[in-house]
Amino acid sequence: VITATDSNAIARAVSKRVHQYGALHHIDRDERGPLFKDLNRQIKEVTGAGNRSRIKSKDYDMVIEFIENWDPTSATKLLIEQDQTA
C-alpha cells in the first residue's frame, strides 16, 4: 500500500482539485462537500481500494493523474445546482 507521504500527497491533490473546480464554477466553499465525496468515491472505484489508505503503491501515479483530470458526475453537478438555487 502507499506510504503516509503518498497518502498525504493524494489528500492535498484532492483538496486542490476540488477547490480549483469549485472556484472555476463559483461554488461556495461550504457547498463543496458533495465534490469531495464524489472525487473520493471515484478514486475508490478506479483503484478498487476500500479507502484511500488502501491504495496500492503501483496505482499512485494513476491516481494523481486521475485527480488532476477529474470532473464530478452529472448527479453531483445537479445536486450542487439544486443547493445553489434553494
Q: From CA 59, how far away is CA 66, in angstroms rounded?
A: 10
Let me know: does 76 contact 38? Beta carbons within 8 Å. yes
Let me know: does 52 contact 43? Beta carbons within 8 Å. yes
Q: How is the chain split into domains, by residue range?
A: 4-85
Structure confidence at residue 64 (pLDDT): 98
Count CA atoms within 13 Å of residue 47 on its CB side. 28
Q: Residue 72: pLDDT band by 50, 70, 90 thresholds? A: very high
Query: What pLDDT, in 10s, does the model give residues 8-65?
Result: 999 999 999 999 999 999 999 999 999 999 999 999 999 999 988 899 999 999 999 9
Could you tell me which of 80, 75, 68, 67 has the C-alpha nearest to residue 33? 80
